[in-house]
Amino acid sequence: MIEKAEHLARTPNGGADPLSSVLSVVRVRGDRAAILAPTRPQSVLFPARAPCLHHVQRGEICIRVAAEDPVLLRANELALLLHGDAHRIDLNGGGVARDFDEFLGSAATPMEENFPETSTRSFWGSFSFDTDLAAKVLQPLPRIIVLTDLVQRPIDWLDLVCDLILQENAAGRPGSAVMVSRLLDLLLIQVLRRWAQSAETLPGWLAAARDDRIARVLAAIHKDPAQDWTNERLAALSGMSKSSFVARFRQVMGHQPGTYVRHWRLDRAAEAIQHSNATIDTVAATVGYASQEAFSRAFHSRFGTTPSAWRAAQRS
């Protein structure tokens, strides 16, 4: 039975939530965490690897990414590097540069009382995504997302979550790795949510969170991409005329509605092909393609390879 569009636009709490939909596709997972608190000037080199977050709890750090202006973070400020760029951070003014793994190995997280109150203390956490698909979905986001108003507008339980992560790391109890991963997930969601609320300009799927009409449309598309999503049907769901809807959708999302529907179908298909054992025919039908040939052509156009080759490459 075809579900009514207005039902598809509802989420369990009654609202539309594009952020949850997108994060479910990229499959974010918390990875590692540590406190960076040298007692002397020190610089740390982070390789191009995992996306990460720096939250300054005391003092200040300077983040240096190639081709970007240096970013100075003071106490109660935070930076998120979602694209996993190589970068250097200077602590206590900066000093001899050491690779991160070397620095971490020689400075197993000491207890707080070992640090003088004048030294810098910064929390670091890293994340993992399904790399190829995440790169496409997250590409519109800035290389560095900075939050500087955490004193005026604190993120709920930010310090508590950081402390819990560090405690789980130190304790090494059964299930600690899963606990740390889930807590880092929560931290990332909170940071993206806060940035979406305060940033002047946002990429499409985050901008939609500020526009109830477009958010309703995205919720419906995300819930059932196989539906026949015509502009007329989406416009009715948004409560706008067709011409007003198409213009507004393109302004917010940067794409025509049909282009977004096609991209979302293929992104969901890529996720299913990688993480399930469903046949290619089944996946194609699930996202709205009646013909495997048409699905394969569209998939190749978006990902540069066939569905079967994608599955083999992602599982190798």
- Per-residue pLDDT, averaged over 131-157, amounts to 81
CA distances from 61 to 94, 200, 273, 286 (A): 8, 25, 42, 48
CA distance 41 to 314: 42
**What is the reported pLDDT for 133?**
67
Bridge partners of residue 62, in order along the sequence? 72, 90
Asked if the model's pLDDT at residue 95 lies above 70, the reply is yes
CA distances from 265 to 23, 52, 128, 225, 284 (A): 15, 28, 23, 6, 9
Of 166-175, 273-282, 285-294, the least confident: 166-175
User: Residue 204: left if φ>0, alpha if ψ -120 to 50, beta else—which one?
Assistant: alpha
Instruction: Enter the pTM of the model.
Output: 0.74
Of 114-118, 170-174, 178-182, the least confident: 114-118
Strands 87-91 vs 29-36: parallel, antiparallel or unpaired: unpaired
The closest of 191, 220, 197 to 2, measured between CA atoms, is 220
Structure tokens at 108: 């197993």
The class of domain 27-201 in CATH terms is: mainly beta
Q: What CATH number is given for 225-315 in this structure?
A: 1.10.10.60
Q: Are 244 and 214 in contact (CB under 8 A)?
A: no
**What is the reported pLDDT for 238?**
93
pLDDT-based confidence at residue 201 (cuts at 50, 70, 90)? low
CA distance 176 to 180: 6
Domain borders along the chain are 27-201, 225-315
- Per-residue pLDDT, averaged over 25-30, amounts to 74
Of residues 216 and 87, the one with the higher pLDDT is 87
Q: Are 143 and 51 in contact (CB under 8 A)?
A: no
- Per-residue pLDDT, averaged over 42-47, amounts to 94
Average pLDDT of the chain, as a whole number: 84
Amino acid at 193: R
Q: Provide the 10 A C-beta neighbour count for residue 47.
A: 12
**What is the reported pLDDT for 209?**
67
Asked if the model's pLDDT at residue 278 lies above 80, the reply is yes
**What is the reported pLDDT for 2?**
34
Asked if the model's pLDDT at residue 3 lies above 50, the reply is no
pLDDT-based confidence at residue 111 (cuts at 50, 70, 90)? very low
Structure tokens at 32: 């590692």
CA 216 to chain centre: 21
Coil, strand or helix at 66? coil
Of residues 131 and 273, the one with the higher pLDDT is 273
pLDDT-based confidence at residue 88 (cuts at 50, 70, 90)? very high
Q: What angle do CA 91, 96, 102 make, to 5 degrees?
A: 85
The closest of 223, 50, 65, 13 to 129, measured between CA atoms, is 50
- Per-residue pLDDT, averaged over 38-58, amounts to 92
pLDDT-above-90 percentage for the chain = 46
